[in-house]
Structure 1
Amino acid sequence: MRLGIDIGGTFTDLLLVDDETGGVRIVKVLTTPADPSRGVVEAVDRALAEPNRALSEVSVLVHGTTLITNTIIERKGARTALLATEGHRDAVEIRREHRYEMYDVLVEMPKPLVPRHLRFGIDERISPQGEVLRPLDREQVERLVRRLQERGIEAIAVSFLHSYRNPVHELAVKEIVARVAPDLYVSLSSQVAPEIKEFERTSTTLCNAYVQARVEEYLGRLEDDLRERTFDGSFFLMQSSGGLCSTETARNFPVRVLESGPAGGALAASHFGQALGLNSLLSFDMGGTTAKLAVIDDGQPLVAPEFEVDRVYRFTLGSGLPVRVPTVEMIEIGAGGGSIARLDALSL
């Protein structure tokens, strides 16, 4: 048997496929925001109760969710600090020269996930060719890490100039944190998004660090609950790109599964479209909280190299936090099946 589980903002949906009989069972329960794993366990118990089967018979479990995106939008992630090359700690706030509303002098930009007092410049420098121009000040890093631990910081994002060419200084910071404060989560830009473009790389790394602790807590609880129910199969998470990853990868790089739920819907539309001989279509995924649209071209969803989360203006490019990971391209509308429509005094 195979299980598919998708956690949305309103409902948690489960699909159970019996490979022997070809039978399919669908279960829908309310999402439990305080502890999403509870909703998953409830759905699993319901799905297996009627055919009187055991979870040990399930060979593969695939999981998609929008909970990670919601963690960023609702600003409920870990208390995070940023370590950047000296003089570059404000790159995430300065952003790029592009203004999504050119003539609006009061244009609003999304607030960085890390406030300025938790962004720190580190004495180090790597050249664009990867040469060490100024060695890392290891003593400065060690003192800072101890201070951050005392201040209750849970996660550290590290984004040094040109680390995609030579990650030696970022790796040294990770080694120092592991020795001085092993309980802190560390995200390195050279591992999360090893590409040119400092702002996008730093923003992606910050998103990863911000949600990592919450993903670790959630997956830990869910895996424990599943093991108690004798699950011993393969557990995968859907990635924003439409591929699959292990729970270990999701723990280390949660930014890759930010849009995993909607990506799964687009893939399903692609699959059934091909079965019907339809290679060009629109997929429409109506959830309880939001509705998603994606374009299927030549039988496959369009995949973009980057997307934005937490946009100030929902459909306006440049008004959100850039995340440099491959993502199924889609439009999301904040009006789902659970939305309440009404007319105001002007009949609007």
Structure 2
Amino acid sequence: MTIRVATDIGGTFTDLVYLENGVINAVKADTTPPNFEQGLLNAVAKSGVSYADIEFFAHGSTVVINTLTERKGVKTALLTTRGFRDVLEIARGNTPDIFNTYYRKPPPFVPRHLRLEICERLNYRGEVVTPLNLEALPALLDTLRGEGVEAIAICLLHAYCNPVHEQQLMAAVSELWPQVAVIASHQVSRALREYERTNTTVLSAYVMPATRDYLDNLSKHLTDKGLQSAPFIMKSNGGISPVNAAKQDPISLVESGPVGGILGAQAYGQLIGESQLLALDIGGTTAKCSLIHDGKVDISNDYVIEKTAISAGYPIMTPVVDIVEIGNGGGSLAWIDAAGSLRVGPQSAGSTPGPVAYGRGGVAPTTTDANLYTGRINPDDFAGGEITPDVVGVERAFAKLGEQVGVSSKLLAHGVLQIANANMVNALKLISVNRGHDPRDFALMAFGGGGALHATALAAELGIPKVIIPPFAGVFSAWGMLMLDSRRDYIQTHLQLLDDEGLPGLTGAFSGLQATAEAQFADDGMSREKLRFEWHVDARYIGQEHTVKVALDELQLSSILERFHAQHEQAYTFRLELPIEVVNLHLVAFGEVPKSPMAPIGVSTSTTAEVALSGRRWVEFEPEQPIKTPLYQRSALLSGMRIDGPAIIEEATTTTVVRPADRLEVDPYGGLHIHINVQEVSA
């Protein structure tokens, strides 16, 4: 017997999906910070899966992003070219709001006294101007030892086009101080932009010890339990990586957890013939969304964390699936601000104490509590029947908060849902309208524990005609990992004009990157026959600063140019008759990994879904207007069945809300397609 397993550690729950004898099963367990691996082990124990029978184990983790946002990394130093120690301090003049007088540059992760200079210099072509001088290095390292430094980032000027000095410096540091964690910028990014490259290297060094410790502990626990093969780790670029490779490039795991669901949405969309999707993942702590256009997920090289109205945040030059994330989920706390207004999130109750309904000491009501109190969630099967909800405590919590704003407890609960939905609508607009896409041209695929609860209301607000709730929606990010290949991205600055004379140079440069990829995959034991490649370029009009990414499906100059013009126009609303310049090459290398395809479900001989009807419950879709609503068990639904709203579809890991006048159909794989009331959308 062989079993394939994928796990996703979220802020509130740890999800596990496993494929056994062609049947997919799923469980949830509480996340256990700071020992996150314990929640994973609890989930495996809950599933009853034998470690000895597992042939494939994939894992998504929030360890990197948590280490950054909670400032729990190690004391880090920076070694850089003489004269450039203040690159982190100077940063950029990018202000999220130019009229906000409270704007402050984000403080560097490395204070100035730990940013030390090395005598060396390359020019922009990568030619040596000043040879590397290591005479002062031993004294510099002694200083850092005395400061208690545990990690060193190395970022030298123009190392993206010639890493020779970085390689020599890194070797010398490792020889003189083998205990310290050290990483150089050429290992992280081979693209220009000194500030962004330096910051990325620093953040990678900052999280490296914690990431290595976590992955080592995880691997040891799994091996001790009997796992025979090393686990794969979910990366931010939408691929999976062997654990040893992940430890060498920790910053590539910055969004390890959320992207599994986005790629799962892409895979399920391909299965059912839906290529235009807005993917929405609502978990216990956050809501994440991404756009899938023509069946493809956008990858961004300009990821930023902690960007707010008064801070430009911290740029990270690593390929990340283009995601917008907000602090709104099932555990988001409702509160009253200084102006007396009701707010929801970004603070979360997490799994401990959790929502008030958990009965673990939570006192502030959450989005989950609001869904329970308005009848959307079944109190008799709360959390899969594992928790008896404290309904009285929930009512008391809403009544107490309602007194502060002068409304009833029920009106306050509806207000919480409306504000949470408004926050999520704004996030969906950021990933669609702000990217030049009309959300009405897409279907909304919602998943995560809370996605199906909110999706129809969000779609109606945005004019989206259809909502899709995929199978295993509550643990969909984990399922998505079973559908992915191993992936590596190679981005390298390569300045040249995009014209007929330049095409041979592009081909040669990509061939060099491809050879590097083949060698690295070979080190992981993956043969050339299992590899496939995609070529992209980041290009711009001559004289511009920013680029757009263009796929090179074929080396026909006319089609490449037209694709660039079209993508530029979509992003910036105009096109120009100017020469086009390539800035970066982007090679995507995939290593084929066996997948876990979803099998079709049974086909109904009738469109009626009466066989799945399990009862009725009073549900308030609108304030103080309860409707006796039919309840259906999703496990009993068959392909071809139809349900007219209102309705509630229940399963172990989530609940789907079908509003009055909406219509639901079941697809051949068990996905729920909810057609939104056209009159309400157009109103």
Q: Check whether TM > 0.5.
A: yes
2:14 is aligned to 12
1:128 is aligned to 124
Q: Distance in 1 between matches of 2:191 and 2:265?
A: 32
Which of 315, 322, 329 does residue 322 from structure 2 map onto?
329
Task: Report SS of the residue matched to 1:24.
Answer: strand
After TM superposition, the structure 1 = structure 2 runs for residues 28-39 of structure 1, keeping only pairs within 5 Å, are 28-39=28-39
2:270 is aligned to 274
What do the CA deviations read for 1:254-284 (whole angstroms, capped 9, x no partner)? Answer: 1111111111110111112222211111111
What do the CA deviations read for 1:299-327 (whole angstroms, capped 9, x no partner)? Answer: 222211221012234xx9x7111111111
The alignment's C-alpha RMSD in Å is 1.6
The answer to whether residue 127 in structure 2 is matched with residue 156 in structure 1 is: no
Change (3 A) 1:343 1:96: closer
Task: Report SS of the residue matched to 2:135.
Answer: helix
Q: Which structure 1 segments of 5+ residues have no match? A: none
1:96 positional shift: 1.9
1:220 positional shift: 0.8
1:26 positional shift: 1.3
Q: Distance in 2 between matches of 1:204 and 1:343?
A: 37
Counterpart contact for 1:110–1:312, Cα < 8 Å: no
Task: Report SS of the residue matched to 2:278.
Answer: strand
The answer to whether residue 198 in structure 2 is matched with residue 202 in structure 1 is: yes
Q: Distance in 1 between matches of 2:242 and 2:95?
A: 38
Counterpart contact for 2:274–2:295, Cα < 8 Å: yes
Counterpart contact for 2:94–2:312, Cα < 8 Å: no
Q: Distance in 2 between matches of 1:105 and 1:239?
A: 37
1:283 is aligned to 279
1:343 positional shift: 4.7
1:306 is aligned to 302
Which of 66, 90, 103 does residue 94 from structure 1 map onto?
90
1:40 is aligned to 40
Change (3 A) 1:100 1:24: same
Which of 205, 214, 221 does residue 218 from structure 1 map onto?
214
1:77 is aligned to 73
Counterpart contact for 2:281–2:289, Cα < 8 Å: yes
1:105 positional shift: 3.9
The answer to whether residue 334 in structure 2 is matched with residue 346 in structure 1 is: no
Change (3 A) 1:276 1:343: farther
Give the stretch that moved more between structures: 74-83 or 101-110: 101-110
Counterpart contact for 1:290–1:336, Cα < 8 Å: yes
Q: Distance in 2 between matches of 1:300 and 1:7?
A: 25
Task: Report SS of the residue matched to 1:123.
Answer: strand
Give, as a single letter, the amino acid of the residue that structure 1 aligns with 2:154. V
Task: Report SS of the residue matched to 2:191.
Answer: coil
The answer to whether residue 22 in structure 2 is matched with residue 26 in structure 1 is: no
1:320 is aligned to 313
Counterpart contact for 1:8–1:287, Cα < 8 Å: yes
Task: Report SS of the residue matched to 2:52.
Answer: helix
1:347 positional shift: 4.3
1:190 is aligned to 186
Q: Distance in 2 between matches of 1:98 and 1:136?
A: 33
Q: Distance in 2 between matches of 1:248 and 1:207?
A: 19
What do the CA deviations read for 1:17-60 (whole angstroms, capped 9, x no partner)? Answer: 11x2x22221211111121111111111221x2xxx42111111
Task: Report SS of the residue matched to 2:29.
Answer: strand
1:151 positional shift: 2.1
The answer to whether residue 223 in structure 2 is matched with residue 227 in structure 1 is: yes
Change (3 A) 1:137 1:337: same
Counterpart contact for 2:96–2:308, Cα < 8 Å: no
What do the CA deviations read for 1:115-134 (whole angstroms, capped 9, x no partner)? Answer: 11211122111111222211
Q: Distance in 2 between matches of 1:146 and 1:137?
A: 17
The answer to whether residue 5 in structure 2 is matched with residue 3 in structure 1 is: yes
Give, as a single letter, the amino acid of the residue that structure 2 aligns with 1:2. R
What do the CA deviations read for 1:186-210 (whole angstroms, capped 9, x no partner)? Answer: 1100111111111111111111101
Q: Distance in 1 between matches of 2:219 and 2:245?
A: 14
Q: Distance in 2 between matches of 1:105 and 1:347?
A: 23
Q: Distance in 1 between matches of 2:279 and 2:209?
A: 33
Give, as a single letter, the amino acid of the residue that structure 1 aligns with 2:216. G
Task: Report SS of the residue matched to 2:273.
Answer: coil
Residue correspondences, number:
339
Q: What's the % identity of the aligned pairs?
A: 40
For normalisation by structure 2, the TM-score amounts to 0.48
Counterpart contact for 1:149–1:181, Cα < 8 Å: no
Give, as a single letter, the amino acid of the residue that structure 2 aligns with 1:34. P
Q: Distance in 2 between matches of 1:270 and 1:210?
A: 33
Q: Distance in 1 between matches of 2:17 and 2:53?
A: 15
Counterpart contact for 1:88–1:121, Cα < 8 Å: yes
Q: Distance in 2 between matches of 1:281 and 1:89?
A: 44
1:182 positional shift: 0.4
Counterpart contact for 2:5–2:58, Cα < 8 Å: yes
2:288 is aligned to 292
1:142 is aligned to 138
Task: Report SS of the residue matched to 1:195.
Answer: coil
Task: Report SS of the residue matched to 1:46.
Answer: helix
Give, as a single letter, the amino acid of the residue that structure 2 aligns with 1:7. I
Counterpart contact for 2:286–2:325, Cα < 8 Å: yes
For normalisation by structure 1, the TM-score amounts to 0.93
1:245 is aligned to 241
Q: Distance in 2 between matches of 1:346 and 1:200?
A: 40
Counterpart contact for 2:159–2:190, Cα < 8 Å: yes
What do the CA deviations read for 1:66-94 (whole angstroms, capped 9, x no partner)? Answer: 22111111111111001111111111121
Give, as a single letter, the amino acid of the residue that structure 1 aligns with 2:116. F
Q: Distance in 1 between matches of 2:135 and 2:262?
A: 49
Task: Report SS of the residue matched to 2:325.
Answer: strand
Counterpart contact for 1:2–1:16, Cα < 8 Å: yes
Q: Distance in 2 between matches of 1:28 and 1:110?
A: 37
1:234 positional shift: 4.2
Give the stretch that moved more between structures: 97-106 or 261-270: 97-106
Give, as a single letter, the amino acid of the residue that structure 2 aligns with 1:174. M
1:233 positional shift: 2.1
